[in-house]
Amino acid sequence: MPVSGAGEVRTLSWDYPPDYRVPLHFHDWHQLIYATSGVMTTHTPDGTWVVPTQRAVWVPARVEHAIEMSGAVSMRTLYLSTRLRASFPRKCQVVTLSPFLRALVLHVVTLGGLRRHVAAELRLRHVLLDQLRDVPADELHLPQPRAARARRIAGWLLEQPGDQRTLTELAREAAAGKRAIERAFKLDTGMTFGRWRRQLRLIHALRLLASGQSVTSVALEVGYDSLSAFVFAFRKAFGVTPGRYQESSGG
């Protein structure tokens, strides 16, 4: 997967089949990883970021990350040199791209990068950096607890998001007290355990919808007792119903 360009902004355009996984790696350049179709899930030691269609994930230089594909993914990536004088985020985050910024990213990918000595490309670089400075962050992030027993519980639920065990049951299985686990999640992730679990279920639902599963089967797989409860939670989190989201993303 060769990176194109010779300037301080370079590009990569690649299409991946469903369920493909890019193994853990890092780059010496910052990355803006954008999917024009499909859903990407980016894993780092600090957490998981789910990237639906028309959003992107920002990965700072030298941050180790792996990427999973849900559905067929058309990835368009910008690599930005650490020498660029810009206020880039210091941590991974999912960002919402405006229609203008989406078009700009695709145009830069078509060009193969932006070189300082080409006047038109230099002007585009200024516009790109200006747009990236104000791009809004999204909440599609699942931070990981650091405490060993809480991390063990998180691992179980990441493997089986529809697990119906209560926190009391999970804590007992992990040889820990319920209150200790609650404190660990709040301290390490900034979320209550209940909110973290809801976030896990909803972002996993995005991946399943992208793979073409029906809304009803997704609701059951991520642990909701009823379709209406799932639709309500999904719409509250993402502003659209699961069915409408699936239509717009081509799932």
**For 70-122, what is each residue's pLDDT tens digit?**
888 999 999 999 999 778 888 899 998 899 999 999 999 999 999 989 999 99
Determine the pLDDT at residue 250.
Answer: 56
What domains appear along the chain, each with residue ranges and CATH number? 9-133 (2.60.120.810), 145-249 (1.10.10.60)
**For 139-186, what is each residue's pLDDT tens digit?**
788 899 999 999 999 999 999 999 999 999 999 999 999 999 999 999
Give the DSSP per-residue string, 146-193: -SHHHHHHHHHHHH-TT----HHHHHHHTT--HHHHHHHHHHHHSS-H
Residue 105 CA to residue 185 CA, distance in Å, equals: 37
Determine the pLDDT at residue 166.
Answer: 95
Backbone angles phi, psi at 18, to 5 degrees: -55, 145
Q: For residue 45, how far is the Cα from the chain centroid?
A: 14
Judge whether residue 248 has pLDDT over 80: no
Residue 233 CA to residue 220 CA, distance in Å, equals: 13
